[in-house]
Structure 1
Amino acid sequence: MTVSRRNRGFSLFEMLAALVVLSLATGLVASRIRPDSASDRLDQATALLADDLRRAQLQARRAASPVPVTVTETGYRIDAVSVHREWPTGLDASWQSRRRSGWGETDTLNMAGRPLSREEARIVLRLETVERVVRLDAISGQIHVDRSM
Protein backbone atom coordinates (compact mmCIF):
# COMPACT_ATOMS: atom_id res chain seq x y z
CA MET A 1 0.00 0.00 0.00
CA THR A 2 1.46 3.32 -1.03
CA VAL A 3 0.67 6.65 0.59
CA SER A 4 -0.40 9.21 -1.90
CA ARG A 5 1.03 12.74 -1.83
CA ARG A 6 -2.42 14.18 -1.12
CA ASN A 7 -2.68 12.56 2.32
CA ARG A 8 0.68 13.71 3.70
CA GLY A 9 -0.46 17.15 4.95
CA PHE A 10 1.18 20.53 4.52
CA SER A 11 4.83 21.14 3.80
CA LEU A 12 6.95 23.33 6.06
CA PHE A 13 7.09 26.03 3.37
CA GLU A 14 3.30 26.14 3.09
CA MET A 15 2.93 26.47 6.86
CA LEU A 16 5.50 29.28 7.03
CA ALA A 17 3.81 31.15 4.19
CA ALA A 18 0.46 30.88 5.98
CA LEU A 19 2.02 32.18 9.22
CA VAL A 20 3.57 35.17 7.43
CA VAL A 21 0.26 36.09 5.81
CA LEU A 22 -1.56 35.69 9.12
CA SER A 23 0.96 37.87 11.01
CA LEU A 24 0.78 40.62 8.37
CA ALA A 25 -3.02 40.63 8.52
CA THR A 26 -2.93 40.75 12.34
CA GLY A 27 -0.49 43.66 12.27
CA LEU A 28 -2.67 45.65 9.88
CA VAL A 29 -5.78 45.09 11.97
CA ALA A 30 -3.97 45.97 15.22
CA SER A 31 -2.59 49.20 13.77
CA ARG A 32 -6.10 50.27 12.72
CA ILE A 33 -7.59 49.48 16.12
CA ARG A 34 -4.96 51.34 18.18
CA PRO A 35 -6.00 54.97 18.71
CA ASP A 36 -3.55 57.65 17.62
CA SER A 37 -1.40 58.86 20.48
CA ALA A 38 -1.08 62.55 21.33
CA SER A 39 2.38 62.51 19.78
CA ASP A 40 1.04 61.09 16.50
CA ARG A 41 -1.80 63.63 16.32
CA LEU A 42 0.58 66.49 17.12
CA ASP A 43 3.09 65.29 14.50
CA GLN A 44 0.32 65.27 11.88
CA ALA A 45 -0.84 68.79 12.80
CA THR A 46 2.74 70.08 12.86
CA ALA A 47 3.60 68.59 9.46
CA LEU A 48 0.42 70.07 7.98
CA LEU A 49 1.24 73.51 9.41
CA ALA A 50 4.82 73.40 8.10
CA ASP A 51 3.60 72.37 4.63
CA ASP A 52 0.99 75.14 4.59
CA LEU A 53 3.60 77.73 5.62
CA ARG A 54 5.88 76.55 2.81
CA ARG A 55 3.01 76.90 0.33
CA ALA A 56 2.36 80.44 1.59
CA GLN A 57 6.06 81.23 1.21
CA LEU A 58 6.06 79.98 -2.39
CA GLN A 59 2.97 82.04 -3.15
CA ALA A 60 4.69 85.11 -1.66
CA ARG A 61 7.65 84.54 -3.99
CA ARG A 62 5.38 84.18 -7.02
CA ALA A 63 3.30 87.22 -6.19
CA ALA A 64 6.29 89.28 -4.95
CA SER A 65 4.22 90.38 -1.95
CA PRO A 66 3.71 89.10 1.60
CA VAL A 67 1.10 86.43 2.23
CA PRO A 68 -0.62 86.80 5.62
CA VAL A 69 -1.23 83.77 7.82
CA THR A 70 -4.08 84.68 10.14
CA VAL A 71 -4.48 82.97 13.50
CA THR A 72 -8.06 82.01 14.35
CA GLU A 73 -9.49 80.82 17.67
CA THR A 74 -9.44 77.20 16.56
CA GLY A 75 -6.67 77.11 13.93
CA TYR A 76 -5.32 79.32 11.15
CA ARG A 77 -6.20 80.67 7.72
CA ILE A 78 -4.13 81.45 4.62
CA ASP A 79 -6.45 83.07 2.11
CA ALA A 80 -3.85 83.38 -0.69
CA VAL A 81 -3.57 79.58 -0.96
CA SER A 82 -7.18 78.80 0.07
CA VAL A 83 -6.29 77.10 3.36
CA HIS A 84 -8.44 77.09 6.47
CA ARG A 85 -7.32 74.59 9.12
CA GLU A 86 -8.82 73.60 12.44
CA TRP A 87 -6.64 72.18 15.21
CA PRO A 88 -7.31 68.75 16.71
CA THR A 89 -9.30 68.84 19.95
CA GLY A 90 -7.15 69.81 22.92
CA LEU A 91 -4.28 71.34 20.92
CA ASP A 92 -2.93 74.64 22.25
CA ALA A 93 -0.99 76.89 19.85
CA SER A 94 1.10 79.93 20.70
CA TRP A 95 2.03 82.10 17.68
CA GLN A 96 5.03 84.33 18.37
CA SER A 97 7.15 86.73 16.34
CA ARG A 98 10.50 88.29 17.16
CA ARG A 99 10.36 91.95 18.13
CA ARG A 100 13.02 94.34 19.37
CA SER A 101 12.03 93.57 22.95
CA GLY A 102 11.98 89.78 22.41
CA TRP A 103 9.30 87.26 21.51
CA GLY A 104 5.71 88.47 21.51
CA GLU A 105 2.32 86.94 20.74
CA THR A 106 0.93 87.65 17.29
CA ASP A 107 -2.31 87.00 15.46
CA THR A 108 -0.85 87.36 11.94
CA LEU A 109 2.38 86.18 10.33
CA ASN A 110 3.43 87.69 7.03
CA MET A 111 5.14 85.09 4.87
CA ALA A 112 7.52 86.86 2.52
CA GLY A 113 9.46 85.52 -0.41
CA ARG A 114 12.35 87.99 -0.28
CA PRO A 115 15.20 87.51 2.23
CA LEU A 116 15.29 90.96 3.84
CA SER A 117 11.54 91.13 4.39
CA ARG A 118 11.16 87.78 6.16
CA GLU A 119 9.79 87.64 9.66
CA GLU A 120 11.37 85.50 12.38
CA ALA A 121 8.63 83.58 14.12
CA ARG A 122 7.81 80.42 16.01
CA ILE A 123 4.63 78.51 16.63
CA VAL A 124 4.60 76.40 19.79
CA LEU A 125 2.10 73.54 19.58
CA ARG A 126 1.13 71.55 22.69
CA LEU A 127 -1.12 68.54 23.03
CA GLU A 128 -1.33 66.93 26.46
CA THR A 129 2.33 66.60 27.53
CA VAL A 130 3.85 66.71 24.05
CA GLU A 131 5.25 69.85 22.44
CA ARG A 132 6.46 70.77 18.95
CA VAL A 133 7.92 74.07 17.74
CA VAL A 134 7.69 75.27 14.15
CA ARG A 135 10.36 77.92 13.53
CA LEU A 136 10.57 80.38 10.64
CA ASP A 137 14.16 81.47 10.04
CA ALA A 138 14.28 85.11 8.90
CA ILE A 139 17.70 84.79 7.26
CA SER A 140 17.43 81.52 5.33
CA GLY A 141 13.65 81.48 4.99
CA GLN A 142 13.60 77.83 6.03
CA ILE A 143 10.85 76.36 8.15
CA HIS A 144 12.07 73.98 10.85
CA VAL A 145 10.16 71.60 13.12
CA ASP A 146 11.69 70.94 16.53
CA ARG A 147 10.59 67.87 18.44
CA SER A 148 10.68 68.10 22.22
CA MET A 149 8.89 66.24 24.95
Structure 2
Amino acid sequence: MKIAIGADHAGYRLKDVVIPFLQELGYEIVDVGSHCADSVDYPDYAVPVCDMVVKGEVERGVLICGTGIGMSIAANKTPGIRCALVHDLFSAKATREHNDTNVLAMGERVIGPGVAQEILKVWLETPFSQGERHIGRINKVKALEAKQELHP
Protein backbone atom coordinates (compact mmCIF):
# COMPACT_ATOMS: atom_id res chain seq x y z
CA MET A 1 0.00 0.00 0.00
CA LYS A 2 1.18 3.49 -0.86
CA ILE A 3 0.64 6.21 1.77
CA ALA A 4 1.13 9.98 1.54
CA ILE A 5 2.15 11.71 4.75
CA GLY A 6 2.35 15.38 5.59
CA ALA A 7 3.00 17.45 8.68
CA ASP A 8 3.41 21.04 9.66
CA HIS A 9 6.15 22.44 11.91
CA ALA A 10 4.39 21.07 15.01
CA GLY A 11 4.13 17.55 13.63
CA TYR A 12 7.23 16.93 11.54
CA ARG A 13 9.14 15.20 14.36
CA LEU A 14 6.44 12.57 14.80
CA LYS A 15 6.21 12.21 11.00
CA ASP A 16 9.93 11.50 10.88
CA VAL A 17 9.49 8.77 13.52
CA VAL A 18 6.50 7.03 11.94
CA ILE A 19 7.85 6.97 8.37
CA PRO A 20 10.57 4.37 9.06
CA PHE A 21 8.07 2.39 11.16
CA LEU A 22 5.63 2.27 8.25
CA GLN A 23 8.41 1.38 5.82
CA GLU A 24 9.45 -1.52 8.07
CA LEU A 25 5.84 -2.76 7.88
CA GLY A 26 6.18 -2.77 4.08
CA TYR A 27 4.33 0.42 3.17
CA GLU A 28 5.57 2.75 0.44
CA ILE A 29 5.66 6.34 1.70
CA VAL A 30 5.37 9.67 -0.11
CA ASP A 31 6.57 12.42 2.25
CA VAL A 32 5.21 15.86 1.30
CA GLY A 33 6.95 17.64 4.22
CA SER A 34 7.47 19.70 6.24
CA HIS A 35 10.98 18.94 7.38
CA CYS A 36 11.80 21.51 10.05
CA ALA A 37 10.44 23.59 12.93
CA ASP A 38 10.06 26.77 10.86
CA SER A 39 6.45 27.92 11.09
CA VAL A 40 4.30 26.78 8.16
CA ASP A 41 0.58 26.57 7.43
CA TYR A 42 -1.03 23.13 7.88
CA PRO A 43 -3.32 23.42 4.81
CA ASP A 44 -0.21 23.60 2.63
CA TYR A 45 0.55 19.99 3.65
CA ALA A 46 -2.98 18.64 4.05
CA VAL A 47 -4.02 19.59 0.52
CA PRO A 48 -1.30 17.71 -1.40
CA VAL A 49 -1.84 14.58 0.68
CA CYS A 50 -5.60 14.70 0.12
CA ASP A 51 -5.20 15.43 -3.57
CA MET A 52 -3.03 12.32 -3.95
CA VAL A 53 -5.65 10.21 -2.16
CA VAL A 54 -8.54 11.54 -4.27
CA LYS A 55 -6.59 11.09 -7.53
CA GLY A 56 -5.72 7.50 -6.57
CA GLU A 57 -1.98 8.15 -6.54
CA VAL A 58 -1.90 6.72 -3.00
CA GLU A 59 -4.37 4.53 -1.12
CA ARG A 60 -4.30 6.45 2.17
CA GLY A 61 -3.06 9.66 3.75
CA VAL A 62 -1.64 10.55 7.15
CA LEU A 63 -1.54 14.11 8.51
CA ILE A 64 0.19 15.34 11.65
CA CYS A 65 0.16 18.74 13.32
CA GLY A 66 0.33 19.82 16.95
CA THR A 67 -3.17 18.61 17.84
CA GLY A 68 -4.35 17.08 14.57
CA ILE A 69 -7.34 19.42 14.63
CA GLY A 70 -6.20 21.86 11.95
CA MET A 71 -5.08 19.08 9.62
CA SER A 72 -8.39 17.22 9.98
CA ILE A 73 -10.40 20.38 9.31
CA ALA A 74 -8.37 21.17 6.19
CA ALA A 75 -8.49 17.57 4.96
CA ASN A 76 -12.25 17.29 5.25
CA LYS A 77 -12.71 20.28 2.93
CA THR A 78 -11.55 18.06 0.05
CA PRO A 79 -14.44 16.19 -1.61
CA GLY A 80 -13.85 12.45 -1.38
CA ILE A 81 -11.79 12.66 1.79
CA ARG A 82 -13.01 11.13 5.01
CA CYS A 83 -10.42 12.15 7.57
CA ALA A 84 -10.61 11.20 11.22
CA LEU A 85 -8.66 12.77 14.06
CA VAL A 86 -7.54 9.83 16.17
CA HIS A 87 -5.62 9.58 19.43
CA ASP A 88 -6.62 6.11 20.64
CA LEU A 89 -6.79 2.56 19.31
CA PHE A 90 -10.56 2.13 19.61
CA SER A 91 -11.19 5.15 17.40
CA ALA A 92 -8.54 4.03 14.90
CA LYS A 93 -10.34 0.72 14.44
CA ALA A 94 -13.87 2.16 14.49
CA THR A 95 -13.16 4.87 11.95
CA ARG A 96 -11.97 2.28 9.44
CA GLU A 97 -14.75 -0.24 10.14
CA HIS A 98 -17.59 2.28 10.22
CA ASN A 99 -16.47 5.31 8.22
CA ASP A 100 -14.01 3.81 5.69
CA THR A 101 -11.69 6.74 6.39
CA ASN A 102 -8.97 7.32 3.84
CA VAL A 103 -6.99 9.92 5.80
CA LEU A 104 -5.86 9.84 9.42
CA ALA A 105 -4.93 12.92 11.45
CA MET A 106 -2.93 12.83 14.67
CA GLY A 107 -1.46 15.41 17.06
CA GLU A 108 2.22 15.26 17.98
CA ARG A 109 1.56 17.32 21.12
CA VAL A 110 -1.21 14.93 22.18
CA ILE A 111 0.31 11.47 21.68
CA GLY A 112 3.79 10.03 21.67
CA PRO A 113 5.54 7.96 19.02
CA GLY A 114 4.60 4.58 20.51
CA VAL A 115 0.88 5.33 20.56
CA ALA A 116 1.07 6.88 17.08
CA GLN A 117 2.68 3.72 15.71
CA GLU A 118 0.03 1.51 17.31
CA ILE A 119 -2.75 3.73 15.94
CA LEU A 120 -1.28 3.62 12.45
CA LYS A 121 -0.90 -0.15 12.53
CA VAL A 122 -4.52 -0.67 13.62
CA TRP A 123 -5.86 1.93 11.19
CA LEU A 124 -3.97 0.51 8.23
CA GLU A 125 -4.80 -3.12 8.98
CA THR A 126 -8.51 -2.68 9.77
CA PRO A 127 -10.80 -3.20 6.77
CA PHE A 128 -14.05 -1.37 6.15
CA SER A 129 -16.91 -3.52 7.46
CA GLN A 130 -18.99 -3.18 4.26
CA GLY A 131 -21.99 -3.01 6.60
CA GLU A 132 -25.14 -1.81 4.89
CA ARG A 133 -25.83 0.86 7.52
CA HIS A 134 -22.26 2.18 7.24
CA ILE A 135 -22.43 2.30 3.44
CA GLY A 136 -25.70 4.22 3.70
CA ARG A 137 -24.17 6.77 6.04
CA ILE A 138 -21.10 7.25 3.85
CA ASN A 139 -23.40 7.75 0.87
CA LYS A 140 -25.19 10.49 2.79
CA VAL A 141 -21.84 12.20 3.38
CA LYS A 142 -21.07 11.90 -0.33
CA ALA A 143 -24.46 13.47 -1.10
CA LEU A 144 -23.58 16.39 1.18
CA GLU A 145 -20.32 16.85 -0.73
CA ALA A 146 -22.14 16.78 -4.06
CA LYS A 147 -24.62 19.37 -2.79
CA GLN A 148 -21.74 21.64 -1.70
CA GLU A 149 -20.09 21.30 -5.12
CA LEU A 150 -23.32 22.44 -6.77
CA HIS A 151 -23.83 25.37 -4.35
CA PRO A 152 -20.42 26.51 -3.08
TM-score tier after normalising by the smaller chain length: under 0.3
**TM norm structure 1:** 0.27
Q: Comparing both structures, which one devotes a greater share of its residues to helix?
A: 2
- TM-score by length of structure 2 reads 0.27
Of structures 1 and 2, the one scoring higher in RCO (CA 8 A, sep 6+) is: 2
Q: Which has the greater radius of gyration?
A: 1
